[in-house]
Chain A
Amino acid sequence: MKRHLFNLALAITAPFVLILAWFKASSQSTNAFFPPLSDILVRFADLWIFEHFVSDIIPSMRNLIIGFALAAVLGVVIGFILATVPVLRVLFEPSLHLLRGIPPVALVPILITLVGFTDQMRISSIVIAAVFPTLIATMDGIKAVDASLKDVCTVYRLDRKDRLLSVYLPSASPQIAAGMQVSLLVAFIVMIASEMMGTAQGIGAMTLLAQQTFMAADMWAGILLLGLIGFLSNVLFDLVKNRALSWYIGSKKMEKVS
């Protein structure tokens, strides 16, 4: 018990100790790459809370949210159609896997050639890149629907609509959620990449610009903000997922107990 308390205390204090150590170690730093943490935090407040909140953070976040939402919806819909219509599945599954093999960021230059340097380009890059994880997960999830569940559908003479929407979709939803989580990560990566390629707007662009002009503190401030967004968006997704899939998580727990 004592040991457990000690471990818990360790887990809670460790991050603070690390931040404090960074603060102390860097306070006298004259290294061009690693400025004092206090400078970074000052720049963080100046840049992101005051100067660039409206001009850069809001467009970036808007692109991320719209792009991810579209990708999630499209992924589920297309995945659902492909999984339930065998002709379409055998027609397009191989091509799909080739497209999925393309690194998501490599789609950005393609979209630039097609649409140019606009928000439209950024959102469509995010959508196209982030759609695949959800799409594939939806297909796999529906493919993996338990055979006995299908039998129950038959016994109860459910029609196609009921069968698909009230049995197959919920049954595949844990896998779909896992796919969406990957989609969110991809959307975040492509958001940054689309801003780092030749534009002057957005958090990614600001961060890269700071690097190119050797403003180390500004660059660190950008990295901190991006890191926080990456972390918090994942936490938020987990919260929503655990809420929506509480029935599934509960049943898994029951299974473990019994």
Chain B
Amino acid sequence: MKRSSTVPSRRDGQTLSQKPGNQNEARGINYESPAAKFGFGILGAVLLLGLWQFAAIRGTFGNGLPTVSATLIELFALFGNPEFWTDTFTTIWLAVLGMVIAVVAGVMLGLLIGTIDWVRYATLAVTEFFKPIPPIVVLPLCVMIWGPTNTMALALVLLGTVLSTTIQVIAGVNDTDPVALSTARSYGMGRVERLLRVTLPSASPYIGTSVRIGAPAALIIVVVAGLLGGAPGLGSAIYRSQSAGDFPQTYALVLVLGVLGLVAQNLSSMIERRVLHWHPAFREDVK
């Protein structure tokens, strides 16, 4: 089914609105050039900030909406506040620690469940049931057992990320090339060696995916644990500033979280690409 091979493609430059790069030049502006993207991106952000400032000055939301300037001043004040840095560090540390433990546990559990048939069937119902249930559901239980502590936040991160990592690893194990496994067996590799040299490497892109999805999720869970459970970190800082009525600080902290979330997303997909650069799925990127 190769329809495009016989079709002289894209002559009609006016009606196609969705075109890669150079096609837009007919209109005079190339929206895909890095300079245009950067410039327009800044312009868009400024527009949105202007809208925010306008709404704040007009008092559309009463005094609940601080002005952009007040928020930015508060943001810079936070940078000089050691408590803010402790909170940020705690949040990042808990998310990273949770993610590392979750990956190690997920790989071990996933290899166990994925390679032994009866274990997989026995755990199928449990994993399928808990998969769509977010960790916030068990937050009250964690708070009851551990109180508003780092341990509680870490437990919540693990509850929220171990299962999804495990499921990814199981999928990776199932995706192992049977020919490669048979080859390894005929070369006389033992069970453990096959596991480490064939199954684990071929499951590694799935592990990469679980890290890419899990890292931002871990950050979010730490914030939830702080916001609703009182665990130390940026979450409880937001809660304190909000209940104290210090709204510029609330907004500034939420902005910080936005940036952190963005960094977590990009950093984890960068690590994924770096570590798995040898894998066919990532080789395509190189031109």
Chain B residues near A (Cβ < 8 Å): 2-4, 7, 9-12, 15-18, 24, 31, 36-37, 40-41, 43-45, 47-48, 61, 64-65, 117-118, 121-126, 129-134, 136-141, 143-145, 216, 219-220, 223-224, 227-228, 235, 238-239, 242-243, 247, 250-251, 254, 257-265
Closest 6 CB pairs of A and B: A101-B261, A148-B4, A91-B44, A234-B132, A94-B41, A101-B262
A8–B137 CB distance below 8 A: no
A105 touches B64 (CB 8 A): no
Q: How far is the CB of A104 from chain B (nearest CB, A)?
A: 7
> Which B residues touch A152, using CB under 8 A?
3, 7
Q: Name the residue in A3, A100, A198, A211 with the highest tally of chain B Cβ atoms < 10 Å from its Cβ.
A: A211
Partner of A95, one of B31, B48, B132, B264: B48
What is the bound-complex CA distance between A113 and B17, given in angstroms? Answer: 41
Please indicate the chain B residues that have their CB under 8 angstroms from the CB of A102 in the complex. Answer: 254, 257-258, 261
CB of B219 within 8 A of CB of A150, answer no
Decide: A109 and B132 in contact? CB cutoff 8 A: no
When distances are taken between beta carbons in the complex, the residues of chain B under 8 Å from A151 are 3-4, 7, 9-10
Q: Bound complex: CA of A31 vs CA of B255, how far in Å?
A: 42
A231 and B133 contact, Cβ closer than 8 Å, known pairs A101-B260, A151-B3: yes
Does B136 contact A10, Cβ atoms closer than 8 Å? no
Interface residues on A, range: 35 or more
Whether the Cβ atoms of B260 and A91 lie closer than 8 Å is no
* Residues A57-104 near B (CB distance < 8 A): 83-87, 89-95, 97-104
CB contact list, A190-239 vs B, under 8 A? 192-193, 196-198, 207-208, 210-211, 214, 216, 219-220, 222-223, 226-227, 230-231, 233-234
The smallest C-beta distance from B125 to any residue of chain A, in angstroms, reads 4
CB contacts (< 8 Å) of A168 on chain B: these are 18
A163 to chain B, nearest CB (A): 8
Q: Is there contact, CB below 8 Å, between A90 and B260?
A: no
From A237, which residue of chain B is reached at the shortest CB distance? B132
Chain A residues within CB distance 8 Å of chain B: 3, 6-8, 10-12, 14-15, 18, 33, 83-87, 89-95, 97-110, 112-116, 142-143, 145, 147-148, 150-152, 154-155, 159-160, 163, 168, 185, 188-189, 192-193, 196-198, 207-208, 210-211, 214, 216, 219-220, 222-223, 226-227, 230-231, 233-234
The one of B61, B126, B136 that contacts A193, using a Cβ cutoff of 8 Å: B136
Query: Judging by beta carbons under 8 Å apart, are B257 and A106 in contact?
Result: yes
Contact A230 B133 (CB under 8 A): yes
Q: How far is the CB of A58 from chain B (nearest CB, A)?
A: 19
**B37 adjacent to A222 (CB under 8 Å):** no
Across the interface, A145 reaches (CB within 8 A) one of B18, B235, B250, namely: B18
CB–CB B144/A211 < 8 A: yes
Contacts of A112 in B (CB 8 A): 242
Please determine whether A83 and B117 come into contact, CB atoms closer than 8 angstroms: no
Contact A95 B41 (CB under 8 A): yes
Q: Is the CB of B143 within 8 A of A85?
A: no
A10-B118, A15-B129, A207-B140 are contacts. A185–B41 as well, Cβ < 8 Å? no
B16–A150 touching, CB < 8 Å? yes
Q: Are A6 and B144 in contact (CB under 8 A)?
A: no
Complex Cα–Cα for A95 and B259 (A) = 11
**Are B132 and A185 in contact, CB atoms less than 8 angstroms apart?**
yes
Q: How far is the CA of A106 from the CA of B36 in the complex (A)?
A: 32
Report A154 CB to chain B, min CB distance, Å: 5
The listed residue with most B CB atoms (<10 A of its CB), out of A15, A143, A216, is: A15
Query: How far, in Å, is B244 (CB) from chain A's closest CB?
Result: 11
Q: Which residue of A lies closest to B227 (CB)?
A: A105
Known: A95-B41, A112-B242, A188-B134. A106 touches B4 (CB 8 A): no
Contacts of A115 in B (CB 8 A): 61, 64
Please determine whether A95 and B64 come into contact, CB atoms closer than 8 angstroms: no
> Within 8 Å CB of B36, what residues of A?
90
A-B contact pairs, 21 of them (CB 8 A): A7-B118, A10-B121, A11-B122, A14-B122, A84-B17, A85-B17, A91-B40, A92-B48, A101-B259, A102-B254, A105-B227, A105-B228, A109-B238, A110-B250, A113-B61, A114-B61, A115-B64, A150-B18, A151-B10, A154-B9, A219-B141
Q: Who on chain A is nearest to B262 by CB? A: A101
Residue of A nearest to B17 (CB): A84
Chain B residues whose C-beta falls within 8 Å of the C-beta of A220 in the assembled complex: 141
Q: B220 — which chain A residues lie within 8 A by C-beta? A: 103-105
Q: Which residues of A contact B64 (CB under 8 A)?
A: 113-116
Verify A33–B40 contact, CB threshold 8 A. no
